[in-house]
Amino acid sequence: MSEFVVSARKYRPSTFNTVVGQKAITSTLKNAIKNNHLAQAFLFCGPRGVGKTTCARILAKTINCFNITENTEACDQCESCVSFNENASFNIHELDAASNNSVDDIRNLVDQVRFAPQVGKYSIYIIDEVHMLSTAAFNAFLKTLEEPPKHAIFILATTERHKIIPTILSRCQIFDFKRIQIEDMVEHLLYVAKSENIEAEHDALHIIAQKADGAMRDALSMFDQIVSFAGNKLTYKAVIENLNILDYDYYFKISAASLDSNIPEALVIFNEILDNGFDGHNFINGLGSHFRNLLVCKDISTIQLLEVGQNIKDKYMDQSQRYSMETLLRAINITNRCDINYKTSKNQRLQVELALMQICSLTGSPQQGEPEKKNLINSPGTVSATAKPTEITPTVASTIEKSEPFAVETPVTIEPAQQIYTKRIISGTTSINAASAPKQEQKITEAESETVIAERKAAQKNFSQEELEVAWTKSVQQLQQQNKLSSFAHTALTKSNPVLKENFLIELEIDNEAAEKALDVEKLDFLELLRKELLNTEIQLKTKINFVVDIKKLYTQREKFMHMAEKNPSINKLRQQLDLEID
């Protein structure tokens, strides 16, 4: 029976080119070796398992190699490389500062530095977890680190750079190692799986990479663990079962229930999740991330932010099309509030169930509720007849009433050649005549686009300052009754009166940044109520922090006289003429 070696050690990189996810650092080190610009002290800092100690060993091996390749890599054949590979090199010294952190340990190291290497050019000292050194040990190390012998090179590695004293930092060339990207980790795991003759699903490796949180060593440890559990076939199901991860399918089922406004189904799914041993807090955090992923799928430019496997990405793309942007924002806001209130709640299960009921009560898709504004005006190839009378001009409303093709609640799909014609119908600039539609121009000018925007604003109901204040008070009271308003936000909304500006902009003065941040979280719900009360969808809210300037009080007779003299210089002239003194 052969001795088992864990993957993190067996597949540890031995050259710069095999280091995963740190190309910028490895390229810099290779160029330094090639151009003979090596510093005498390096500091490698970054999270755990990203390759700090590995790069330190590769650097130490390469600079002592007698036959460095054209690609600036160690040859693995010379005397120095062979002794390094056999852990028998006398030129490379490793010190674990976690267990050797006293002044005496550093003094012993300083004494060794004076001796020249037996083989090769340099003596390399790798000090791992250097932040564990005591303050006295750091101070004992300072002089040697600043002026080491020509043959000595120090490589320090740490996960906590902030614990190292500034005088040490200033003497080192610092390299910040980043967390390894998910795709790089998946690619390396695929290489390991093929080397071990293990059949692995891409989605399964993706889950391992996500769980590892940027640490390659953690990913390889989990890989070994799941191989022990599942054998030579690594499946998505085996991974989520072994690592106790909540399956994406649960989140897709919850969001599907919210689209159908099916509260009972959502509660039953949540009960099943609890029965499987998952924590409600982790679930609500995962649900918030799920709705965030649906949101980033709404735009092509943000799809790259979705770090999941291809099969799951396709599911996100499909389900995101059934949601409106506003619904997803509200769902994220609800999960965020639940996350904040979860720990302080006495009935935590009810807290999550309440959030699920609120999410299921939202309008899931544009077909189930009001259409999005962009669908009404700018959506290519589709016209919806469910628009409110306030969203179109009276001329257009009367024209649509006389036309048979526009059935209530039914989207009308038209040919591409008629798209421009449809936009003109909605903007009120063209009468309905389907036969003449293909003869219209295929391009709308910039002036016509501005006309559409202007007419849409003109269609909104105007309101006065008095009407605004009444609707404002009513909306605040309604939100407070529904327990959707925090004390910070309530104070910010009621302490000062809103001021109506141009283009339906409302300005509100608040006292401090804390109240402004609290109001930003709950602004969407409040604006929705206010727009309904005033029958105007163009209303926008702008907050302004009112900085109160302290008025200096006057106490002495001199202060009072000087204040009066600043306002009226004649008083000071009179005092001089009468030769008076100020007490």
- State both tokens at 490: 């309530």
Reported as type and span, the H/E element at residue 44 is strand 41-45
pLDDT at 437: 40
CA-nearest of 504, 502, 501, 540 to 524 is: 540
DSSP string, 453-466: HHHHHHTSPP--HH
Burial 487-512 (b: 16+ CB within 10 A, else e): ebbbebbeeeebebeeebebebebee
pLDDT digits over 529-560, tens only?
888 888 888 888 888 777 554 556 777 888 88
Q: Which amino acid is at 243?
A: L
* Percent of the chain's residues with pLDDT above 70: 82
Tokens matching residue 401? 């009433």
Residue 325 near residue 298 (C-beta atoms within 8 A): yes
List of long-range contacts for 28-36, beta carbons under 8 Å, 24+ apart: 28/175, 29/55, 29/59, 29/175, 30/71, 30/72, 30/73, 31/72, 33/59, 33/62, 33/63, 33/68, 33/72, 34/72
Q: What is the pLDDT of residues 127-163, one digit of tens each?
A: 888 898 888 888 888 888 888 888 889 999 998 888 8
**What is the phi/psi pair of residue 160, to 5°?**
-130, 80
What's the confidence (pLDDT) of residue 572? 83
Residue 274 has pLDDT above 80, yes or no: yes
Which residue in this structure is represented by tokens 């229930």?
Answer: 257
The single-letter code of the amino acid at 548 is V
Mind listing the pLDDT tens digit for each residue in 63-77?
Answer: 888 888 888 888 888
Q: Which of helix, strand or coil describes residue 96?
A: strand
Residue type, 270: F
Give me the helix-helix angle, 465-481 and 513-534, nearest 10°.
110
Owner of token pair 């109160």:
548
Between CA 418 and CA 51 the distance in angstroms is 59
DSSP structure string for 362-409: S--STTTSPPPHHHHHT-TTEE-S---GGGS-HHHHHHHHT-SS--TT
What does the pLDDT average to over 401-415? Answer: 38
Q: Give the single-character DSSP code of 348.
A: H
| Spatial separation of the C-alpha atoms in residues 378 and 468, rounded to whole Å | 30
Determine if the pTM surpasses 0.75. Answer: no
Is 187 a residue whose pLDDT tops 80?
Answer: yes
Residue 44: pLDDT band by 50, 70, 90 thresholds? very high
Question: What are the Cα distances from residue 82, in Å, to 75, 78, 154?
Answer: 9, 6, 22
- Whether the per-residue pLDDT at 483 is higher than 50: the answer is yes
User: Is 413 within 8 Å of 382 (Cβ atoms)?
Assistant: yes
CB 409 within 8 A of CB 385: yes
Report the chain's C-alpha Rg in angstroms: 35
3-state SS, residue 104:
helix
**Do 131 and 158 form a contact (C-beta atoms < 8 A)?**
yes
Enumerate residues 6+ apart whose C-beta is below 8 A from 239.
204, 207, 208, 226, 245
d(CA 424, CA 437): 10
For 167, phi then psi, to 5°, come to: -70, -30
- Tell me if residue 466 falls in helix, strand or coil: helix
Task: Mean pLDDT check: name the lowest of 32-41, 75-84, 480-489.
Answer: 480-489
Q: Which residue has the tokens 């001089």?
A: 576
Which pLDDT band, with edges at 50, 70 and 90, does 430 fall under? very low
**Of the candidates 333, 355, 325, the residue with the CA atom closest to the CA atom of residue 342:** 355
Beta strands in 329-438 (DSSP E): 382-383, 412-413
More confident residue, 444 or 45: 45
Which tokens belong to 418?
């008629």
Q: Measured between alpha carbons, how far is 385 from 505 in angstroms, rounded to an integer?
A: 28
Q: State the helix-helix crossing angle for 348-360 and 280-296, rounded to 10 degrees.
A: 30
Task: For each of the domains in the chain, give its residue range(s) and CATH number, in order of start.
Answer: 7-176 (3.40.50.300), 182-242 (1.10.8.60), 248-360 (1.20.272.10), 373-458 (no CATH), 465-545 (3.30.300.180)
Q: What is the pLDDT of residues 70-109, one digit of tens each?
A: 888 888 888 888 888 888 788 888 888 888 888 888 888 8
Question: Which tens digits make up the pLDDT trace of 227-266?
Answer: 888 888 888 888 888 887 788 888 888 888 888 888 899 9
User: Taking 60 as the threshold, does the pLDDT of residue 281 lie above it?
Assistant: yes
Distance CA 334, CA 288 (A): 8
* Amino acid at site 184: D
SS3 sequence of 228-270: HHHCCEECHHHHHHHCCCCCHHHHHHHHHHHHCCCHHHHHHHH
Question: Do 331 and 321 touch, CB atoms closer than 8 A?
Answer: no
Q: What is the 3-state secondary structure (H, E, C) of 269-295?
A: HHHHHHHCCCCHHHHHHHHHHHHHHHH
